[in-house]
Amino acid sequence: MASQHRKPRPAGTRVAGIRTPALATAALTSVALLSQTATAAPSTDDKPSVEEVEKKVDDLYRQAETATEKYNAAKEKTTKQRKQVDTLLDDVAQRAQKLNDAREELGSYAAAQYRTGASAPDTATFLLADTPQDYFDQTQLMGRVTERQKGAVDDYFADQAETMKKRQEAAESLQTLTDSQNGLRTAKATVQKKLSSARALLSQLTAEEKARLAAIEERKRQEAARKAAELAEQQQKAAADAAAQQESSDASGSGSTGSTGTDTSSSSPSPSPSPATDSSYATKAEKALAFARAQIGKPYVWGATGPDSYDCSGLTQAAWKAAGVTLPRVTYDQVNAGTTVSLSSAQPGDLVFFYADVTHVGIYIGNGMMIHAPKPGTYVREESIYYDGESSIHSVVRPA
Q: Which residues are catalytic?
A: 312, 360, 372
Rounded CA-CA distance 370/398 in Å is 14
Residue-wise burial string across 48-80, b where 16 or more C-beta atoms lie within 10 A, e elsewhere: eebeebbeebeebbbbbbbbbbbbbbbbebbee
Q: Which helix (H) or strand (E) holds 322?
A: helix 312-322
Rounded CA-CA distance 143/135 in Å is 13
Task: Report the 10 Å Cβ neighbour count for 219.
Answer: 10
Sorted by sequence, the CB contacts under 8 Å of residue 19 that are 6+ apart come out as 12, 13
- List phi, psi (to 5°) of 275: -55, -35
H helices present in 323-377, as ranges: 331-334
Rounded CA-CA distance 397/23 in Å is 79
Dihedral sign for Cα 385, 389, 390, 394, please: negative
Of 339, 338, 337, 334, the residue nearest 354 (C-alpha): 334
Rounded CA-CA distance 9/160 in Å is 113
